[in-house]
Amino acid sequence: MTGDPAFSTGDHHHALSPSPPPNLLITMEEGSQNSEQLFEDDGNELELEGNDIDIDSNSLDIEGNGLDIESNGLQDDCDGMLEIDDNHESNGDDATAVSIENGISQGKNYPPPVVGMEFESYDDAYNYYNCYAKELGFAIRVKSSWTKRNSKEKRGAVLCCNCEGFKTIKEANSRRKETRTGCLAMIRLRLVESNRWRVDEVKLEHNHLFDHERAQNCKSHKKMDAVAKRKVEPTVDVEVRTIKLYRTSTADPVGYGNLNSLEGEISKTVDRSKRLKLNKGDSQIIYDFFSHIQLTSPNFVYLIDLNDEGCLRNVFWMDSRSRAAYGYFGDVVAVDTTCLSNKYEIPLVAFVGVNHHGQSILLGCGLLADDTFESYVWLFRAWLTCMSGRSPQTIITNHCRAMQSAISEVFPRAHHRLHLSHVMRSLFKNLGELQESGVFQMILNRTVYETVKVDEFEMGWDDMIRRFGLADHAWLCTLYEERERWAPVYQKDTFFAGMCTFENGECRSSFFDSFVHKQTSLKEFFGKYELLVQEERKIEAINDLESRDSSPLLKTRCFYELQLSKLYTNEIFRRFQDEVVMMPCFSITQVHANGPVITYMIKEHEAEGDRSNIKNFEVMHDKAGTEIRCICSCFNFNGYLCRHCLCVLHYNGVEEIPFQYILSRWRKDFKRLYIPELGSNNIDISNPVQWFDHLHRRAMQVVEEGMISRDHYTVAWQAFKESLNKVRLVADKHV
């Protein structure tokens, strides 16, 4: 059952830990006291080895090639202006160099690690983290590493702060001073298909003070030499701190299989001269727009990708409001590629979420040179980096093989689903004369939309194929093979937050739908962009006010309706209210019991007054755990309980909807501050850059809360004046 997405951005996927694969050897180095690590799973088995290491198998967390970052304490790596460093040497690699000028570096010369950093070798990665640690005032050690069986080739490693863990029972009585504090700061590295070492996970927050003097004498820093320092990647100078985001090769049979089979969407060789298709003056328009937004919104972020000739290839941008909104509504994200795939004048790609009113919100935009695997990988990595490495639970896209491969690479743990409406349109488009057949449309719609069990769908599909002679239709066979990505009957364990309505296949995934047309120019788009974004946010503010100050009209005497009328925003409550109104069911029958878990059969009429056509819905209710689940999966699809579950709760005398089924993402009383994450309070007291970053973030929190009402504004303004007077008094003492 899907939990509350607003409070589960980190570890919701850690419930099951498969066994490690046998031909990878994991070695524990330098006496790690904690066996809780993340292991690379290359599709082979892993085996743990180590001397005198007591490993609790329940503490192991085996993960795939993905990343899922705990964001607590992670310095926001995109607060400053991001642009291309044209002078950065790429050593022949096709790399994107992203310069970060303000606010992320926790050291003077080495920026903090971020997900997506890549290094030429393991030694380069280790030396970089060691230099960063030394500069900040802590030491590191290798918590764990793993190699292939019968080979000494290292495949991955976890580098941690040397204050990680605690003394073992054997060490507890030693006279040696306790220096471990259970610190969680770490980075996880893995060898990727390009033979580079990639940072897969980062935790920056320390639970102890930094001690430069003690750190200088630690083992890791004593081993540091001048050669190692010079080899550190990414190279950083004092004026411009550059992070290399390497572009991934598009033809790698080891990592992706035969990508040339993607029906022409990915070519064998990449044309390095590909560039963004711009009209005369468009480059200046993009530059002027970014410059203007940067001045009015200091936390605005943009990333630019250049080809080898220095020509603009891909662009990505996002404002601070979008980045902050992702913290509340980042559980489900749709990638709208309508403009790119339909060859619009502007090759726009938009990341879209849904807020607490069920309203589409913008979570970032991009302009791409083409719709190839390589371009999508660059875009997704840029977006994920700005989101502090936190992947959404569900990603919804159009049917595109190149994008599907890119999502598997960048978001391996996310549930990738296809727009059902797009699939259905493509289906009719590819079936020629059958699209005009009313009988075919009726059978297809009944099979896709009305089946509630997998065997019902597959039997209905087979009957349709035989009846209309479609067994040899290659495109339809390919679509059927991917049915788990688009057919509602297979999506019951995927959370959609109401973004897709499976009754009619519609999906709320477009933000610019009525604004951008096929001939819309870049100048026209950027000219109206701010106005459109502000208008959507104004609508959200109005909806907030109406939901907070008004009480919706109740239609029944059901206590569930009264309960959620006090908690949910008006729009979401109205959707839930429709379920309450339809609660009176034909009958409820207990069909099975297994201890506290009871299965009920709910029978209801498909149409009012039609007693001949009855649908059955199974509902499982765990009385001990107050859990309930219906086969219609309304909760996962829409984010609230269905009428079938409500009937069973009422039948069992449950007076209120259990708290786990009341999601904070829909609540009107939940305070949402649209500012970037505040990050860690652990700062280097000798680093003025961190002073500025920390003070600016805290001040922005006061600004956001001060805008709630006139009274809030008055209090915030008074607090600012008092603080400024106190700060000036301190300054006067040092004059």
> Could you give the 3-state DSSP secondary structure of residue 681?
coil
Tell me the pLDDT tens digit for each residue of 665-712: 999 987 776 765 545 556 667 777 677 767 877 887 788 778 777 888
Evaluate if residue 261 carries a pLDDT over 70: no
In the chain, % of residues over pLDDT 70: 70
pLDDT at 253 over 60: no
What pLDDT does 37 receive?
34
pLDDT beyond 90 at 393: yes
pLDDT-derived band of residue 97, with 50, 70 and 90 as boundaries? Answer: very low
Q: Is 437's pLDDT higher than 60? A: yes
> Is the four-CA dihedral 650, 556, 612, 629 of positive or negative sign?
negative
The C-alpha atoms of residue 403 and residue 337 are separated, in whole angstroms, by 10
Task: Give 122 or 247, the one with higher predicted confidence.
Answer: 122
Structure confidence by residue, pLDDT tens digits, 30-65: 333 333 333 334 333 333 333 333 333 333 233 333
Query: What is the amino acid identity at position 651?
Result: Y
How does DSSP assign 392-415, residue by residue?
-SEEEE-S-HHHHHHHHHH-TTSE
Q: How many CB atoms lie within 10 A of CB 240?
A: 14
What pLDDT, in 10s, does the model give residues 311-367? 899 999 998 889 889 989 999 999 999 999 888 999 999 999 999 999 999 999 999
Q: Mean pLDDT over residues 61-73, rounded?
A: 33
User: What pLDDT does residue 55 have?
Assistant: 31
Alpha carbons 399 and 482: distance in angstroms, whole number: 10
Q: Using one digit for the tens of pLDDT, what is the confidence trace for 497-529?
A: 988 876 665 666 678 877 888 999 999 999 999
Question: Can you list the alpha helix ranges (DSSP code H) found in 372-491?
Answer: 373-386, 401-410, 420-429, 438-449, 454-467, 474-481
pLDDT average, residue stretch 94-110: 41
**pLDDT reported for residue 615:** 85
Q: What is the mean pLDDT of residues 473-486?
A: 92
* pLDDT given for residue 135 in this prediction: 85
Quick one: which of 34, 75, 45, 74 has its CA closest to 158?
A: 34
Instruction: Give 230's contacts (C-beta < 8 A, 6+ positions apart).
Output: none
The number of beta carbons lying within 10 Å of the beta carbon of residue 134 is: 21
Measured from the Cβ of residue 579, the count of other Cβ atoms closer than 10 Å reads: 19
As a whole number of angstroms, the distance between CA 388 and CA 79 comes to 11
Three-state secondary structure of 146-213:
EEECCCCCEEEEEEEECCCCCCCCCCCCCCCCCCCCCCCCEEEEEECCCCCEEEEEEECCCCCCCCHH
Phi and psi at residue 365, to the nearest 5°: -140, 155
Question: What integer pLDDT is reported at residue 118 of this predicted model?
Answer: 85
Residue with tokens 């769908």: 457
Q: What pLDDT, on a 0 to 100 scale, did the predictor assign at position 502?
A: 67
Confidence check: pLDDT of 296 > 60: yes
DSSP-derived pairing of the beta strands 154-161 and 140-148: antiparallel
Is the pLDDT confidence value at 476 over 60? Answer: yes
Question: Of all residues in the chain, what percent carry a pLDDT higher than 90?
Answer: 36
Q: Name residue, tokens 């292991």.
A: 39
Closest by Cα among 197, 214, 76 to 136: 214
Does position 389 have pLDDT exceeding 50, yes or no?
Answer: yes
Residue 463 has pLDDT above 90, yes or no: yes
Please write the tens of the pLDDT for every residue from 184-235: 899 999 888 767 888 888 888 888 887 776 766 676 665 554 444 444 434 3
Residue 710: what pLDDT?
85
Question: What digits encode the pLDDT tens for the residues 615-666?
Answer: 889 999 998 878 999 999 999 999 999 999 999 999 999 999 999 999 999 9
Amino acid letter, residue 463: D
Categorize the per-residue pLDDT at 601 as very low, low, confident or very high, splitting at 50, 70 and 90.
very high
Mean pLDDT across the stretch 117-128?
88
Residue 238, pLDDT above cutoff 70: no
Where residue 263 falls among pLDDT bands split at 50, 70, 90?
A: very low
Rounded to 5 degrees, what are φ and ψ at 597? -90, 115
Backbone CA torsion sign across 197, 198, 202, 204 = positive
Tell me: the pLDDT tens digits for 139-192? Answer: 999 988 888 767 778 888 999 998 888 766 555 556 566 677 788 899 999 888
> Band of the pLDDT at 242, cuts 50, 70, 90?
very low
Is pLDDT above 80 for 16? no
Average pLDDT, the chain: 75
Task: State pTM to two decimals.
Answer: 0.61
Identify whether the C-beta of residue 495 lies closer than 8 Å to the C-beta of residue 636.
Answer: yes
3-state secondary structure of 352: strand
DSSP-derived letter for residue 93 is -
**What does the alpha-carbon distance between residue 189 and residue 198 come to, in Å, rounded to a whole number?**
5
What Rg do the C-alpha atoms of the chain give, in angstroms? 28
Q: What is the pLDDT of residue 465?
A: 93
pLDDT for 728 equals 85
More confident residue, 733 or 321: 321
